[in-house]
Structure 1
Amino acid sequence: MSKQAVPRSLTIEALRKGYRNRSFTPIDVIEAILERAEASAESHIWIAPPVMERIQPYLERLERLSPEQCPLWGIPFAVKDNIEVAGWPVTAACPDFAYTPESHAAVVERLVAAGAIPVGKANLDQFATGLVGTRSPYGAAHNALRPELISGGSSSGSAIAVACGQAAFALGTDTAGSGRVPAALNGLVGYKPAVGAWPSAGVIPACRSLDCVTVFAHSIDDCLTVDRQARGYVESDPYSAARSLSNPVMPELFLIPEGPLEFFGPFAAVYEQAWEQAKRTLIDTGCLVEAIDISMLLEASSLLYEGPLVAERWADLEAFVIAHPGATLPVTEQILRSGEKATYTAAALFQAQYRLAEIKRMTEKWLKNAILVLPTAGGTWTREQVAADPVDTNRKMGLYTNHCNLLDMSAVAIPAGEAEEGLPFGITLFSLADEEANLSSAARAFLLQAETVTVAVCGLHMRGMPLEQQMLGLGATFIEETQTAPRYEMYRLPTTPPKPGLVRVSEKEGGREIAIELWRMPYRSFGKFTASIPAPLGIGKVELTDGRTVPGFLCESYAADPERNISEAGGWRNWLKSPIA
């Protein structure tokens, strides 16, 4: 066992596997993190960096916990420094604000109970008032992939800690995009649950009624593993809500903006190209894609910080700012004090709320059984460009994110390739809060399509069959067993060895559900695979029982001999087990 065996990219599954195989121990993992944190100090990831003295009690606690009973046993995580960890100072990136809490924030308490190890407090835009990652007296956080660029904010350090292998996941917060923008700019997944689904007790508020605790990780599966521990009602938290996840289903529709979008900054052109590619990938998933007018969403976005709703930030921090002149950064105070404008009257606030209610009702109609897809950000900047124009650059970063919590949406930001080398591009999927579970299905569909092709096989290429090795040799991996929609018949073809032919029939003819397997195949192998398929077989679109459509084996109808119809068996594997096979 050795810290040298600790993977550079920390994921929950990789760590679990390493612990099971005794390749390394939690102490090895922490020692590797300490070395990495020290080596990257100039990136300004941490406010309270990982040190063994603070982490040791959590390592010792693992000895009393069972890995089998603790889903996050030995998994290191970073905590944005506006979230309380017992006995560790919390600053919200304002040294004069610092205090040491006696107890964990509710979400930290749940993660620690599941065996997770907090390793440090991550840097952020001061008081979570920014989307750029440069508004901190502890230093402007550097992008994990291109240090000259911004990291995104306000949860800057949280995202970079994961991207740089110093945590397997990290907690952030999200009022207007802070749990999503840093994910996009650092090539990560950023998961934002519905407002109140994760408790915010123990979180220093930005806009108390809208704040969400979020998670950054390398995969949607890791985010959902954290979600299972963090989600749930807390009585002491007035904004906590019992918002459990339903069973995920594939949405009926992807919604995208109609017409051209606004892209900005020095990489506007390549960002726009990346967005066009993302739209093509959505279409290639086989799901229905429809363009809609998003002007109302942009209107809602402007209401958050360019109208009376901004007064909520000032309501929480007014007393501190007035009592501690000079304690906050000039740009932070400028942003906070925007909430005390004389025009932001109670009447103006109600008028804004009435308009939001109208927009929310319309978006509820759009999003029923659907997923909205937007660029997570319309561009990015160098840190020098943000320093020269800190307000307008920051405003643009929230163009496609600000509306989310105001309209009670759930969201997940996912990678969508690169705009250019070393410059990740990301999209965000939005759902209704009560359909949040569907985000995972939609995200997986996009990510699989973006990098690989999902292939449906129904005969000799299935696991344990004669041509399984062909699939493995092409780099394909098994995903799942499933069934076709009830619109297919299966025939035994007169070949040696026998093989099945799957034929789609008309609705009038009926058809059955046929057992199949889904395999994930690299695009580079797909052409070679299809070229090897002999007639009368070929690759077409196979409709699945859950509504998805994927490429898969189909047979030309001329080979469908009624005397060789074996559909009643429900699949090739079942037919082979039958007495007449």
Structure 2
Amino acid sequence: MTSSTASIFLPAGAPELASLSFDFTSLAAAYRAGVTPSAIVGEVFLRIRAGHDPHVWTWLQPESTVLEQARRLEEARRDGKSLPLFGLPFGVKDNIDVAGLPTSAGCTSFTYQATRTAQLVAQLQEAGALLIGKQNMDQFATGLVGIRSPAGYCRNAFDPDYIPGGSSSGSAVAVASGHVSFAIGSDTGGSGRVPAALNNIVGLKPTPGRVSTDGFLYCNRSFDVAPVFALTTEDAYAVLAAIEEPDQSGIHGSGGQPQDLPAAFRFGVPAGSQLTFFGDRQAQQRFDAALEHLAALGGTPVEIDFTPFLEAGRLVFNSAFIAERWVTYGHANQASDPHVHPAVAQAIQAAQAYSAADAFQAQYRLQDYQRQVAAAFERIDILVTPTAGTIYRCDAVEADPIALNTNLGYYTYFANPLRLSAISVPAGLRKDGLPFGVCLFGRPYADGQLRPIARALQEAAGGRLGATGHGYPATVEEALA
């Protein structure tokens, strides 16, 4: 026997599990062909054990526990229960509580045993998804690089010399590597988008307040959201449909549903030198190609002043808003603690420099930028940027951890303080074989409006699924073929 699933009966005509893509369409086809969730669970654990990167996952549920969950799912389906995410394996970032598993937030000395499960995790399980375990991250969700994990960081799914992106590094790499169908991360200033782009997968960042973050260890509670990592745009939106509901925390307001995107739409692009790639010509070429695809889809480019977006983004980490990190992690952030990454300690300790008056001033400035951005969206239907203007080698980031991390946030920091919807989609591979992603931004609660354009962009870019080697399946019938 060559796999842990060899002893599990597979019906005639069922796909070989080792070569099966875990995108939703392919798994649905496999289940229609007679494969069981129990067989998929066995294959998941085989892939994790066979993986070359030991730092993708921080905690795994016992395989026997997940197998029992799979058997209960099979019984529930036979009983006629609606299970929209039936048998889809997933993981969550290690700042999201799961009862019975530790939560570390990337810091050994901070680790505690969770006694309750985050609301959205419970929702996903109720919808039929199978929780495999928890995934690595930049410590305390502080970073966009993915290598601020003192206990060991995971590697980019395409080239181990390059950063995986963070802070939801393990979540993105697990999906890109074909370990699971989807993953849930957290996103304050880009952590659900940058690692998606750097690993050739989709990162769907909902409007703040659209999905519950109850049971999360917050980075900045006012801005944190729960992004979905998936292999395809449609997969990401299927997960969002299972978990979206008004956030009951009172932190975020509510919003209406924007109208559908018009057939002839206007897409904003940062004007002139505000569109930067930090000297990366290959990234610029991929972005230019994406703009051509958008024009072919009926879009008209409109240059916009990017200043209010950039200024709103700077408030997240260069104003009194950073004091929210101290609320969650200040007691654990002792300079003498060898388990705290130096760059993380520096970022959190900066909170002590601000006063209550500074906090109010930051709020007033943000409100002004929100008004300016709302005015900008009167001229455009969506905003389009690179998800990240470039990608860095691990050794380069280790040598210059603050400046290069900040560069990665140039196109991401502003989304949550401005309450924008956003999705990062693969935009093809560069000439050097590394991934490149494009991010679409919409008005608050315009998450669904971005869906058809995001799907079309991903398909136009070639439709490769993460680093799995699988192509984009058009239909269940094609997946069965």
Alignment match, 2:69: 58
- Which of 328, 331, 334 is the matching residue for 1:316? 328
Alignment match, 1:549: none
Alignment match, 1:367: 377
Task: Report which structure shows greater RCO (CA 8 Å, sep ≥6).
Answer: 2
Identity across the alignment (%): 37
Give the letter aligned to residue 278 of structure 2: F
Show CA shifts across 1:265-315 (max 9, x none).
7xx121122222222222222222211111221122222112222222122
1:161 aligns with 2:174: yes
- Which of 84, 90, 104 is the matching residue for 1:77? 90
* Closer/same/farther in 2, CA of residues 102 and 296 from structure 1, 3 Å limit: same
Distance in structure 1 (CA, Å) of the matches to 2:258 and 2:304? 27
Show CA shifts across 1:132-157 (max 9, x none).
11011231210011111100000000
User: Cα offset for 1:27?
Assistant: 1.8
Alignment match, 2:403: 392
User: Cα offset for 1:240?
Assistant: 6.2
Alignment of 1:206-221 (within 5 A): 206-221=219-234
Distance in structure 1 (CA, Å) of the matches to 2:150 and 2:179? 22
- Which of 241, 260, 270 is the matching residue for 2:282? 270
Q: How large is the Cα RMSD of the aligned pairs?
A: 2.3
Distance in structure 1 (CA, Å) of the matches to 2:177 and 2:256? 32
Alignment match, 2:49: 38
Contact 1:37/1:49 (<8 A) preserved: no
* Closer/same/farther in 2, CA of residues 280 and 234 from structure 1, 3 Å limit: closer
Alignment match, 2:197: 184
Question: How many aligned residue pairs are there?
Answer: 449
Alignment match, 1:567: none
Show CA shifts across 1:86-114 (max 9, x none).
21111111122222222210100100001
Alignment of 1:79-98 (within 5 A): 79-98=92-111
1:306 aligns with 2:294: no
Contact 1:195/1:210 (<8 A) preserved: yes
Alignment match, 1:149: 162
The structure whose residues are more often strand, as a share, is 1
- Helix, strand or coil: the match of 2:295? helix
Instruction: For structure 2, list consecutive stretches of 5 or more residues without a partner in the other structure.
Output: 1-8, 464-473, 476-481
1:203 aligns with 2:213: no
Give the letter aligned to residue 126 of structure 1: Q
Distance in structure 1 (CA, Å) of the matches to 2:211 and 2:266? 27
Give the letter aligned to residue 411 of structure 2: Y
Larger radius of gyration between Structure 1 and Structure 2: 1
Alignment match, 2:366: 356
Which segment is superposed worse, 244-253 or 169-178?
244-253
* Closer/same/farther in 2, CA of residues 317 and 280 from structure 1, 3 Å limit: same
- Helix, strand or coil: the match of 2:76? coil
- Helix, strand or coil: the match of 2:183? strand
Distance in structure 2 (CA, Å) of the matches to 1:82 and 1:56? 24
Distance in structure 2 (CA, Å) of the matches to 1:356 and 1:403? 10
* Closer/same/farther in 2, CA of residues 324 and 106 from structure 1, 3 Å limit: farther
1:428 aligns with 2:439: yes
Distance in structure 2 (CA, Å) of the matches to 1:405 and 1:137? 27
Contact 1:82/1:203 (<8 A) preserved: yes
Contact 1:248/1:441 (<8 A) preserved: no
Contact 1:200/1:239 (<8 A) preserved: no
Give the letter aligned to residue 95 of structure 1: T
Show CA shifts across 1:509-552 (max 9, x none).
xxxxxxxxxxxxxxxxxxxxxxxxxxxxxxxxxxxxxxxxxxxx
- Helix, strand or coil: the match of 1:64? helix
Contact 1:93/1:126 (<8 A) preserved: yes
Show CA shifts across 1:411-466 (max 9, x none).
000111122242111110001113222111221343355459xxxxxxxxxxxxxx
Which segment is superposed worse, 80-89 or 54-63?
54-63
Distance in structure 1 (CA, Å) of the matches to 2:111 and 2:306? 41
User: Cα offset for 1:41?
Assistant: 4.8
* Closer/same/farther in 2, CA of residues 427 and 287 from structure 1, 3 Å limit: same
Show CA shifts across 1:15-39 (max 9, x none).
11101111x2212211111121112
Instruction: For structure 1, list consecutive stretches of 5 or more residues without a partner in the other structure.
Output: 453-476, 479-581
Distance in structure 2 (CA, Å) of the matches to 1:4 and 1:138? 36
For normalisation by structure 2, the TM-score amounts to: 0.88
Distance in structure 1 (CA, Å) of the matches to 2:312 and 2:245? 28
Which segment is superposed worse, 38-47 or 209-218?
38-47
